[in-house]
Structure 1
């Protein structure tokens, strides 16, 4: 599966746009890590546990988007984007989405 965040495939012609492929996940940290992250906000700096959580969430959302595109019969997903939002304190939703396409041979 070819994945691009541009709206075309260099050197290829798009035969068919199949629709929007998407994948999402809601993730949170456990109470202990959430407490430590809260303490980190007092002194400043990167909150590594949340960085790791969001990186993992992006990977899961991307995998689910690819599965959605494969279910449509896509060869590629173009114009890929990520979106995230806070669902509640310490929990975030990450969504990956793009246009599932079939490429001409």
Structure 2
């Protein structure tokens, strides 16, 4: 399954648009990550690595779920893939990966 942030797929012809698909996950910030981020903000500078790691894992999971949803439709690829993140009241983050599921075939070069 090809995931692409582009609107087309070089070397391929889209033969069918199957529709929009998404993969959704919720990341609840670990207390240690929140403390680390707060201290870095207060004292200035540096990356909150714990929180960055959680967000990275969340994006990977959202992308995995997107790929699974597209596969259920029989897609070969997802085009115009994007991420959207929303903060939840309880201190968590909703991460959504979305795009357009398509069937595509490789273009044979002469």
TM-score, normalised to structure 2, is: 0.88
- The SS at the match of 2:56 is helix
Whole-angstrom distance in 2 between the partners of 1:14 and 1:96: 21
1:4-83 mapped onto 2 (5 Å cutoff): 4-44=4-44, 45-83=46-84
Whole-angstrom distance in 2 between the partners of 1:36 and 1:4: 34
For structure 2, which runs of at least 5 residues remain unmatched after alignment? Answer: none
Shift of 1:34: 1.8
Runs of 4+ residues over 3 Å off in structure 1 = none
Highest Rg: 1 or 2? 2
Shift of 1:89: 5.6
- The SS at the match of 1:62 is helix
- The SS at the match of 1:101 is strand
Aligned residue in 1 for 2:96: 95
Structure 1 residues 92 and 29: alpha-carbon distance in aligned structure 2, compared to 1, 3 A threshold: same
- The SS at the match of 1:68 is helix
For structure 1, which runs of at least 5 residues remain unmatched after alignment? Answer: none
Tell me if the contact between 2:81 and 2:98 (Cα under 8 Å) persists in the aligned partners.
yes
CA RMSD, Structure 1 to Structure 2 (Å) = 1.4
- The SS at the match of 1:88 is coil
